[in-house]
Structure 1
């Protein structure tokens, strides 16, 4: 039986939409950097994870949240897959 993402703390890393348009890097220090299309660092801010829930706060004060389910991140109406490194 495999460990869950919560158990392995496997959240940090690059998360990407299927079309590659949105790339969100969750850094191990609790910060994130999101690119959209050719726009690098389109959004930056902090994140907190509790269980399989993630809360975001970008550097302008905007907040959002998401959920990790079965190794997939659901956030802002988008679906992200963890990029293998």
Structure 2
């Protein structure tokens, strides 16, 4: 019996339910593409309480207050829409309303 593999983002979901890292060439290609993406970088709420960094490898790291790396996971950007998959299992999304403003989770983030 052949197993099916569905690739989305930096991880491949295997039909057995296990996750396997994407191949190195695919990962390197994605990193090169994302490095050049205009939304990569640090996004911060007014007052600086939440700091949301979109990393070039398709991952994000969010700090809240004094809690560094409070949330981490992967993301995908399609047009002005962003989807998040947190490592703890929850999902979220947002929208870039212009090149320096992100609306996410009822909050407004500005490019830093």
- Partner deviation per Cα, 1:9-37 (whole Å, 9 max, x = no partner): 21110000011000000000000000000
Q: 2:51 aligns with which of 15, 23, 35?
A: 23
Q: 2:106 aligns with which of 64, 77, 83?
A: 77
TM (norm. structure 1) is 0.86
Which structure features the higher share of helix residues?
A: 2
The gaps in structure 2 that reach 5 residues or longer are: 1-35
Tell me the residue number matched to 2:25.
none
- Partner deviation per Cα, 1:16-70 (whole Å, 9 max, x = no partner): 0011000000000000000000000000000000000000000011000000012
How many residues are paired up? 76
Q: Does residue 40 in structure 1 map to residue 68 in structure 2? A: yes
- Greater than 2 Å deviation, 4+ residue runs: none
